[in-house]
Structure 1
């Protein structure tokens, strides 16, 4: 019955009249900015493949981004403690 299958989009072989074939790619092709870096974008494969690709992308460590997130979290915690007037002197002797 196909309740869980997605319908594939129709593809047309259309070439514009004033198409400059010296340029790169079709000027009417709609492409996302980061599609070439993603593995989850592309063919409509199964749900398990999409999920595994998303996990592989997530597992790639980016140390600069991790450090940046930790610094931002620490600053937000300190701002929160300042707002509620938490006394930081209990940590220092």
Structure 2
């Protein structure tokens, strides 16, 4: 057993007894919910290509999602200030 070699996983050609071949893909395929929207998920690429894809995703964000996150954060901050009984009247003009 080599120290620098990774062990290969065993592959089996198992098909379930009641599996319908006409369905959409294998029922045992593990796929995440948002994989089709991400650039970074997919074929095994080099680290430079993965970094470039992640940088492109960072540069072109979804503005609606950012606005939603800002609203949620603002509401959570206001709830936190209400819980600690912070006086918001210091921000209002007299």
With structure 2 as the length reference, what TM-score do the two structures score?
A: 0.63
CA-CA distance at 1:24 after TM superposition: 4.3
CA RMSD of aligned residues (A): 3.1
- 1:43, 1:30 → 2: CA distance? 15
Q: 1:78 to 1:31 in 2, by over 3 A?
A: closer
With structure 1 as the length reference, what TM-score do the two structures score?
A: 0.64
**3-state DSSP of counterpart to 2:52:** helix
Q: 1:45 to 1:88 in 2, by over 3 A?
A: same
- 1:41, 1:73 → 2: CA distance? 28
Query: Unpaired segments of 5 or more residues in structure 1?
Result: none
CA-CA distance at 1:50 after TM superposition: 0.9
Query: Unpaired segments of 5 or more residues in structure 2?
Result: none
- 2:77, 2:28 → 1: CA distance? 48
